[in-house]
Structure 1
Amino acid sequence: MKNLLTAVALCAAVLSAQAADKMAPAADKAPTAQQGKMATCNKDATGKKGDERKAFMKECLSSKQATQQNKMKTCNADATGKKGEERKAFMKTCLSGGKPA
């Protein structure tokens, strides 16, 4: 009887460990691009409620919006060191998709 209880307890421990192993990799993985986009949009939607929030999240999560945000980040990084009218002209050209001078 003791052997049976020990075997059952051992099986339960093994199954529990296997279940924990299956859950652990999800926590170790880096967030996907979509998860990152969702986090950013959620942060930006602070204070919005109901239909306003729903509409904002739909627009924010669209690929067009994400592409524009990425383009802005890239152009800002490339404009480092430029000031005033030079920066303004560079950003206008860069954001419109033209080749900046």
Structure 2
Amino acid sequence: MKNLLSLVTAASLALTLGVAAHAADAPAAAASAPAKAPTAQQSKMATCNADAKTKALKGDERKAFMKDCLSANKQAKQQDKMKSCNADAKTKALKGDERKAFMKSCLSAQPAA
């Protein structure tokens, strides 16, 4: 019984030391990895959060502000697309049903990346 208890204690000690050594290596590994640059969405979120904090917004007012702030770029893109499609339709001198069909096609097309 004493041998079994000694063996279990030794195994527990070895496991604890192994985990501690691995934990000590983890910060070094993380420090050596290059920091990732924030994505465009993360940058936008940080900017919107800073603006909301500056305005001291709370609760539903903050939610509404964040929603508008984060979707502002999508609205600008859609407006730019509308202007471009209108200009193309005008250049092609489209009228009536032809223009409607062209605009529908143009506005639903995926933007070039």
TM-score range, shorter chain: 0.3 to 0.5
TM-score normalised by length of structure 2? 0.42
TM-score normalised by length of structure 1? 0.46
Higher relative contact order (CA 8 A, sep 6+): 2
